[in-house]
Amino acid sequence: MRFKFLSLAAAVLLVSACSSTPETATTASTGGTTAAVPTNTTGPVPGSAEDFVVNVGDRVFFGFDRYDLTPEATATLDRQAAWLKQYQNVTITVEGHADERGTREYNLALGERRATAVKNYLVALGVDTARVQTISYGKERPAVLGSNEAAWAQNRRGVTVIN
């Protein structure tokens, strides 16, 4: 048993060594809000991630098991594309998310479809494809807690995160 224990202890050490880079994208994606808040003279710095979230809107929502963009979504993405053209040095990661009412692997694929739908729309509006990365979190990172339609609707989303 000693032999086994030592090899497992070594395993934990190796894992720790491999994962020394902390994740940051997930925390950035959960703090945002969709509602445009009235700005005042002490608002976010233009061109900042906060400016993007507050004044443009960082996320779009999808129907159940859907990845097509609604008119509300394209309106948001039109604003995102205009902002991205204004701030050409910014790169983004589009996160695709699903609600909790699907199986894990299907939702990973669905999240990837949603992130790609957002990316393709932004690129079609002239955003350089090299500035846009995508990632799917499936159902792993809900924005809103709760097992009800309102929460699920908020969680079926594509979130544009300023890198």
Partner 1 sequence: MRKPSFLTRLRRAVVAALAACALGTGFLALPAQAELSIDITSGKVDPKPIAVTTFYGDSPQAQTIGQNISKVISANLERSGLFRPIDPSRFIQTPEQLRNGTPRYADWRVIDAQGLVVGGVQQLPDGRIRIEFRLFDVLAGQQMTGLAYNVQPDGWRRVAHIISDAIYKRITGEDGYFDTRVVYIAESGPANQRVKRLAIMDQDGENHRFLTDGRVLVLTPRFSPTAQEITYLSYFNNRPRVYLFNIDTGRQEVLGDFPGMTFAPRFSPDGNKVIMSLAQNGNTDIYTLDLRTRRQTQLTNSPAIDTAPSYSPDGSKIVFESDRGGTQQLYTMNADGADVKRITFGHGRYGTPVWSPRGDLIAFTRIADGRFYIGVVRPDGTGERMLTEAFHVEGPTWAPNGRVLMFFKERPTGDGNRQRQAKLFSIDLTGFNERQVVTPTDASDPAWSPLIP
List interacting residues with partner 1 (CB under 8 A). Answer: 1-4, 7-8, 10-16, 18-19, 21-23, 25-27, 30, 65, 67, 93, 100-106, 108-110, 112-113, 116-117, 120, 135-136, 140-148
Q: Residue 21's CB: how many other CB atoms inside 10 A?
A: 6
The minimum distance between CB 44 and partner 1, in angstroms, equals: 23
| The two structure tokens encoding residue 158 | 């594509």
The minimum distance between CB 116 and partner 1, in angstroms, equals: 3
Structure-token match 């129907």, residue found: 63
Q: Give the SS3 label for residue 102.
A: coil
Alpha-carbon distance of 7 to 132, in angstroms, equals 42
- Selection from 32, 50, 34 nearest residue 42 by Cα: 50
- Select 35 or 145, whichever has its Cβ closest to partner 1: 145
The minimum distance between CB 7 and partner 1, in angstroms, equals: 5
Name 96's Cβ contacts closer than 8 Å, sequence gap at least 6. 110, 111, 112, 113, 114, 115, 116, 118, 134, 135, 136, 137, 158
- Select 12 or 45, whichever has its Cβ closest to partner 1: 12
Instruction: Using the CB atoms, write b or e for 41-64: b if 16+ within 10 Å.
Output: eeeeeeeebebbbbbbbbbbbbee
The minimum distance between CB 45 and partner 1, in angstroms, equals: 25
- Select 58 or 112, whichever has its Cβ closest to partner 1: 112
The minimum distance between CB 42 and partner 1, in angstroms, equals: 29
- Select 52 or 121, whichever has its Cβ closest to partner 1: 121
- Select 80 or 93, whichever has its Cβ closest to partner 1: 93
